A and B are shown apart, each in its own frame.
Chain A
Amino acid sequence: MFLRKVEITYVSPCLADPQKIRLKAELSDDITEVMPYLNATVKAAIYNHEAPNLTLSKEFRLITLYPRELTMIKALNTTDAWQVIDWLQELINDTYARRSEIAPDYRRKRRPHPLQLYSWLPRLNCKKCGEQHCLAFAALLFSGQQELKNCEPLFSHNYREQREVLLELAKALR
């Protein structure tokens, strides 16, 4: 088995949504090697080959993979988190096993889809950016008519992880 074990090491409530949790987990093995293959196969993954890290989502949950660690935000509870981790572990091991059939993709980023941008926004529909709702903001961000810095809530402490991902995504829009 390529990745043998994933162990949750830290859990706390999601800052943006106290009903949900955020967590960190340690990986028993270095997964750097599999990242370009995941980048090539996982829809809407965001890959940074230099760092390296890879961000992806499972429904509403947002996950970032590092060589020996992962973070997840917006999991429902620990049972939910363990289930997603199981899914990830299987995805990683499966991708690794099939790597000879996959053309690795080392591209730093691909142009993200507006809905992908939307999924990382605070989704408060608070209109502080001057738009009617976050979806409109995401569409305008995509077309270059809006700037990330205009979403004020995103720059509060509560959305630190989401902000980092969006800043990374925004680079690919230019």
Chain B
Amino acid sequence: MLTAKAKEAFNAFNAGFKEKGKLLYQGKYSSHAVRFRAMPAQREGKEKVAIYLDNAATTYPKPEAVYKAIDHYLRHIGASAGRGAYRRALEADGLVFKTRKLLGRLFNIADVSNIIFTSNVTESLNLALKGFLREGDHVVTSHLEHNSMWRPLKVLEKERNIRITVLPSPEGKALDPEQLERTILPGTRLVALTHASNVTGTLMPLKEVGEICRRYHVPLLVDTAQTAGVFPLDIKELKIDLLAFTGHKGLLGPTGTGGLYIAPGLEIKPWKEGGTGGASLLEHQPEDLPDRFEAGTLNVAGIVGLGAAVEFILEKGVGQIREHEKALTAYALEQLCQVPGLTLYGPLNAEERVGVFSINLEDIAPEELAYVLDEAYGIMVRAGLHCAPQAHRCIGTVQRGTVRISPGYFNTKEEIEALSVALKEIISH
């Protein structure tokens, strides 16, 4: 029996398909969409609270200091960093430097000129790959990569004839360092890896990888989208030569912020030229970092917000944040495993993963499950392929996709419990 509210939601949902002239669900999932079986009748009239569990996409909420810092900058400073010789502009410049310095502390980067700001990790990865790889280079990567790594590599395969070796991750397992070592050849110019999968939460054995890369003198590029701010990252200890980060996920900053650390001596070709504030007389982009890569007015408001966020993280301590994540992860694993008919992908041990869980519930379409969780319970999760089709091939969900649950620093055990209660209700009604 469908409740009135569910019927209404279903009609709106279905009208959308008709408009587009196609049915989203095909084969065995279509019948569920039509019946909307996942909507439990007993939710009618019950209070729903907003529980945000899509922190792998972007974290929410942000620390209070982030909102305040951005407001203060926009309202009371407002000037562009490093443009002009008046105090306000120089104050803005000082704030940008402060964020750079905080990031330097977070990642143990001594010379923060080597940290350049970008608009997100996608831009950082594109810059690193396209600015570093040359005709015919060999690159080693993994099957768990996000499209922001995978697609630029595929473009370079076409345009610069690079050769790509992809390390397998059967069932979403971490790569095997021994296998990595065997794939490094004399012509290998880069190892490019995500630190953690945004589909399965799998953590890659970065320490072993770094040691192997150093042994063979191959630079290591790491996509830290899912780990920066959550997992202790020390470029010296982990031997990372190119660290790409995004500001709006675990770093708790606003969207439109990110960056790339470039180890001294690595030659990366800039992809844009333009104004840098200083050295305007030169006809060429200045050679020195960070200006070499920072043409155009920076996202000062965003960078200021990111600075406040990193300050918050440093105050709490990344180690402590990781402990919180592990505790929440262990609890979520325990809770999810108790839901009948639930398939959980990726490692079952909190130590081997971050707080990103891909699940499916019996044969309910992921989109339907996400929709019902939101409509009936106010629980926000994401459904689909999560921009990483290779990773879905590894876990056999490339046709269907998954529901992705990703708690963040501000989520609680109670909220995870509410999710598990909702899932149990949905499956048993």
Using a CB–CB cutoff of 8 Å, the interface residues on chain A facing chain B are: 7-13, 18-21, 76-80, 82-83, 86
* B82 and A78 within 8 A (CB): yes
* Partner pick for B282 among A18, A21, A79, CB 8 A cutoff: A18
Are A13 and B82 also in contact (CB < 8 A) when A19-B286, A76-B113 are? Answer: no
* Partner pick for B288 among A9, A11, A77, A86, CB 8 A cutoff: A77
- A147 to chain B minimum Cβ distance, whole angstroms, is 33
* B85 and A83 within 8 A (CB): no
In the bound complex, CA of A83 to CA of B286 (Å): 18
Q: Which residues of B contact A79 (CB under 8 A)?
A: 97, 100, 112-113, 289-291
B111 contacts the other chain (CB 8 A)? yes
* A13 and B279 within 8 A (CB): yes
21 contacts between A and B (CB under 8 A): A7-B91, A8-B93, A9-B90, A11-B85, A13-B279, A13-B280, A18-B281, A19-B288, A21-B279, A77-B82, A77-B276, A78-B93, A78-B97, A78-B278, A79-B100, A79-B112, A79-B291, A80-B288, A82-B93, A83-B97, A83-B113
Q: Looking across the interface, which residue of chain B has its beta carbon closest to that of A86?
A: B101
B76 contacts the other chain (CB 8 A)? no
* B112 and A18 within 8 A (CB): no
* Partner pick for A77 among B87, B101, B279, B281, CB 8 A cutoff: B279
Q: Which residues of B contact A12 (CB under 8 A)?
A: 85
* B288 and A82 within 8 A (CB): no
Q: Looking across the interface, which residue of chain A has its beta carbon closest to that of B290?
A: A79
Q: Looking across the interface, which residue of chain B has its beta carbon closest to that of A75?
A: B278
In the bound complex, CA of A18 to CA of B100 (Å): 25
Q: Looking across the interface, which residue of chain A has its beta carbon closest to that of B89?
A: A11
Q: Which residues of A contact B93 (CB under 8 A)?
A: 8, 78, 82
**Residues of A contacting B: mostly:** mixed
Q: Which residues of B contact A82 (CB under 8 A)?
A: 93-94, 97, 101
Q: Looking across the interface, which residue of chain A has its beta carbon closest to that of B281?
A: A18
- A73 to chain B minimum Cβ distance, whole angstroms, is 13
Q: Looking across the interface, which residue of chain A has its beta carbon closest to that of B291?
A: A77
B277 contacts the other chain (CB 8 A)? yes
In the bound complex, CA of A76 to CA of B112 (Å): 13
In the bound complex, CA of A21 to CA of B97 (Å): 16
* Partner pick for B112 among A7, A11, A20, A83, CB 8 A cutoff: A83
* A9 and B87 within 8 A (CB): yes
In the bound complex, CA of A19 to CA of B280 (Å): 8
Contacts A7-B87, A9-B87 aside, 6 further interface pairs with beta carbons under 8 A come to A11-B82, A13-B280, A20-B279, A78-B93, A79-B291, A83-B113
In the bound complex, CA of A8 to CA of B282 (Å): 23
In the bound complex, CA of A8 to CA of B277 (Å): 15
Q: Which residues of B contact A10 (CB under 8 A)?
A: 85, 90
- A133 to chain B minimum Cβ distance, whole angstroms, is 24
* Partner pick for A19 among B90, B94, B282, CB 8 A cutoff: B282
* B90 and A80 within 8 A (CB): no
* A21 and B90 within 8 A (CB): no
Q: Looking across the interface, which residue of chain A has its beta carbon closest to that of B292?
A: A77
* B94 and A21 within 8 A (CB): no
Q: Which residues of B contact A83 (CB under 8 A)?
A: 97, 111-113
Q: Mark B97-115, 1 if CB is under 8 A from A, else 0.
A: 1001100000000011100
- A81 to chain B minimum Cβ distance, whole angstroms, is 9
